[in-house]
Amino acid sequence: MPRILPLDPATYERHAIHQGDRIWAETNCYTDIVVELLHAHGHAPEAALAFTLGIDFEQDQWTFFKPPLRDLELLYGLSVQELALWRPLQDHLVDQVAAGRPVLVELDSWFLPDTAGTAYRSAHVKTTVAVNEIDPDARVLGYFHNQGYYHLSGDDYAEILQLGGLPHDRVLPPYAELVKPLPRAVVPKGDDLTDASLDLLGFHLRHVPVASPFRAFRDRFQADMDWLMAGELERFHAYSFATLRQYGACYELAATGLSWLSGRGVDGLAEPTADLLRIAERTKSVQFLLARAMARKKPFDLATFDELSELWERAMGTLVERHG
């Protein structure tokens, strides 16, 4: 059975980002699995979190934040490359996993048992997993997804890998990437890792928007209000995932990265860390308040976004001044 790491879902210890009193238990499917993949291989994912500072409001959604491939190479010696699926997916997974390369692949949550209670056997939702082991004979797949590590088997295995053939000729192969350890990479450790992470902080601060993205989001939110209030809660959940959850979870990760640097002796990060955490906390409250406003068809107070904008401007101003 091709397997990279000898992991057991029953005993797997999640990274601290996915444990304890986190404001946002999950971020997005891609970032979550990268965190757990790095953690399982003995790396510190916190070193790579500076990229979160550069997100923006992208007209109708917030940036779907993902660790840049360049950062993964610099910090961990890992190259992420697109995997062309010219054979059945199962065959590619067997070969790549046997070569020690996890495969990141988009799958249908309908067949992922770890999504029980949300999408499993109830909704077709695209999501990304990282495959760590595969047993074609026993029909077992071991994969990282969201907060942890899981197995699926039996009919779920056959369906997720489309062993019975495509349901019709318009179904495209999923997008997949392989994670390849670079043979000549010098992976920084200790103080070198801190220095490399601090360098990336300076680099990503160049991507910080010039003006607060919360001001543009406030205007768009106001324009969307009637449309939101006229819809059911499903509309709110989709809207919230693309907006509130994206930036709320992202800025909590940003605070985690800054806190990690503070713990390794980098000064001047306590205040922006607190401001970013406040954004994450306040946004979680906004999510509940908006859901209640929609259920009652009542107006929603947009002044909250002015508060968030002030927190953002103060945090980014401090960071750019000291580390930009």
The C-alpha atoms of residue 318 and residue 244 are separated, in whole angstroms, by: 24
- What pLDDT, on the 0 to 100 scale, is given for residue 168? 47
- The strands making up 103-108's β-sheet, listed across from edge to edge, are 78-82, 176-181, 103-108, 126-135, 140-145, 148-153
154 φ, ψ (degrees, to nearest 5)? 60, -135
The DSSP bridge partners found for residue 128 are 106
Block means of pLDDT (10 residues each) for the chain, 324 residues, are: 95 95 93 98 98 97 97 98 95 98 96 92 93 97 96 94 67 91 95 98 97 96 90 87 96 98 96 98 92 82 93 98 91
Taking phi over 0 as left and psi of -120 to 50 as alpha, with beta for the rest, 162 belongs to left
Helix-strand-coil percent breakdown of the chain, rounded to 5? 50, 15, 35
| Surface-to-core class of residue 298, CB atoms within 10 Å of its CB (0-12 exposed, 13-18 middle, 19+ buried) | exposed
Give just the sign of the alpha carbon dihedral 291, 292, 296, 300. Answer: negative
The C-alpha atoms of residue 306 and residue 214 are separated, in whole angstroms, by: 7
Token pair, residue 207, equals: 């991507």
- What pLDDT, on the 0 to 100 scale, is given for residue 261? 98
- What pLDDT, on the 0 to 100 scale, is given for residue 192? 98
- What pLDDT, on the 0 to 100 scale, is given for residue 83? 98
210 φ, ψ (degrees, to nearest 5)? -70, -40
- What pLDDT, on the 0 to 100 scale, is given for residue 170? 56
- What pLDDT, on the 0 to 100 scale, is given for residue 75? 98
For residue 99, give the amino acid letter: A
The DSSP bridge partners found for residue 145 are 148
- What pLDDT, on the 0 to 100 scale, is given for residue 166? 57
Residue 312 near residue 254 (C-beta atoms within 8 A): no
Got the DSSP string for 161-200? Answer: TTTT--SSTTPPPPPEEEEEE-TT-----HHHHHHHHHHH
Taking phi over 0 as left and psi of -120 to 50 as alpha, with beta for the rest, 12 belongs to beta
- What pLDDT, on the 0 to 100 scale, is given for residue 80? 98
The C-alpha atoms of residue 253 and residue 197 are separated, in whole angstroms, by: 14
For residue 88, give the amino acid letter: P
Model pTM? 0.93
Residue 160 near residue 111 (C-beta atoms within 8 A): yes
| Surface-to-core class of residue 183, CB atoms within 10 Å of its CB (0-12 exposed, 13-18 middle, 19+ buried) | exposed
- What pLDDT, on the 0 to 100 scale, is given for residue 59? 95
Domain boundaries, the chain: 16-42+78-181, 190-323
